[in-house]
Amino acid sequence: MRNLLEAHGLTKSFGGVVANRDVSFTLEEGLIVGLIGPNGAGKSTMFNMLSAVFPPTTGEIKYKGQRIEKMSSYKVCELGISRTFQNLQVFKNMSVLENVMVGHHSRTKSGMLAAALRFPSAKKEEKIILEAAMEQIKFVGLEDLYDVNAGSLPLGKLRLLELARALATKPELLLLDEIAAGLNHIETLEMSELIKRIRNKGISIFVVEHDMDLVMGICDKIIVLDQGMKIAEGTPKEIQNNEKVIAAYLGEEAEEKVEVIG
């Protein structure tokens, strides 16, 4: 199995707070890898570094052998890394179709400005984009809602829309940030199946998720962070039986109880 992404010694500090400390791991092609850990463990910070929202303070990120840690998020997306956000980032006054088409423009020659100004080159691409966007919309099961305003969709459908838009950039690596947050049991099961179908299309997946049933059910490998550091890595079974992981989560439960009592 080829290494798609390699993270070496990633550290991120915000003033005095060290959100990630010397974290290294690899993401292999074709796998669904999970990133878990108690609240504040540094999961979102890690995703933000991998998708170039901000650079690491120190450390290297290699994607298909190329250093990417100082690149812009646009460039990283162009190379094939796409992501969804914990706090949905859809355009609420645009239709489902328009939202997904915005995702496509990040990968076209003409780009968004040419499309907005309706240059001839952009018009030709517009048709291709429209068809490709509809394909992603069908893939996630939103075809009946393609012309509905995103603002009127319930959370479950918005999460599917975010997924369709991330897929529209034609990623090879997809980062899913709490894609099942707020979903009910049935929606979560459907999301698990959808993630597996995405992997079966040949897209590698890195997922941050609090829903342990989802993580344990779909991941080939799990990486565990606690207080910014990697404390374990292994199969779901290995992780479930790992003493450091159990202690980290029990610590969190104890803290929550103290908060409730206090």
Site stretch for ligand ATP (CB under 6 A), options 42-50, 75-83, 121-129, 230-238 = 42-50
Determine if 42 is a binding residue for ligand ATP (CB under 6 A).
yes
Site stretch for ligand ATP (CB under 6 A), options 1-9, 14-22, 96-104, 235-243 = 14-22
Q: How far is the CB of 16 from ligand ATP (least distance, A)?
A: 9
Q: How far is the CB of 225 from ligand ATP (least distance, A)?
A: 7
Cα gap 54→73, rounded to integer Å: 8
Identity of the residue, 32 or 41, whose beta carbon is nearer to ligand ATP in the bound complex: 41
Site stretch for ligand ATP (CB under 6 A), options 38-46, 129-137, 168-176, 233-241 = 38-46
What is the 3 state secondary structure string of the chain? CCEEEEEEEEEEEECCEEEEEEEEEEEECCCEEEEECCCCCCHHHHHHHHCCCCCCCEEEEEECCEECCCCCHHHHHHHCEEECCCCCCCCCCCEHHHHHHHHHHCCCCCHHHHHHHCCHHHHHHHHHHHHHHHHHHHHHCCHHHCCCEHHHCCHHHHHHHHHHHHHHCCCCEEEEECCCCCCCHHHHHHHHHHHHHHHHCCCEEEEECCCHHHHHHHCCEEEEEECCEEEEEECHHHHHCCHHHHHHHHHHHHHHHHHHHC
By rule CB under 6 A, what string of x and - marks binding of each residue 93-122 to ligand ATP? ------------------------------
Contact with ligand ATP (CB under 6 A): which of 1, 17, 155, 254?
Answer: 17
Give the footprint of ligand ATP on residues 173-232 (CB under 6 A).
none
Determine if 40 is a binding residue for ligand ATP (CB under 6 A).
yes
Contact with ligand ATP (CB under 6 A): which of 7, 10, 21, 43?
Answer: 43
Identity of the residue, 14 or 74, whose beta carbon is nearer to ligand ATP in the bound complex: 14
Contact with ligand ATP (CB under 6 A): which of 4, 19, 32, 164?
Answer: 19
Site stretch for ligand ATP (CB under 6 A), options 12-20, 116-124, 160-168, 196-204 = 12-20
Site residues (vs ligand ATP, CB under 6 A): 14, 17, 19, 37, 39-45
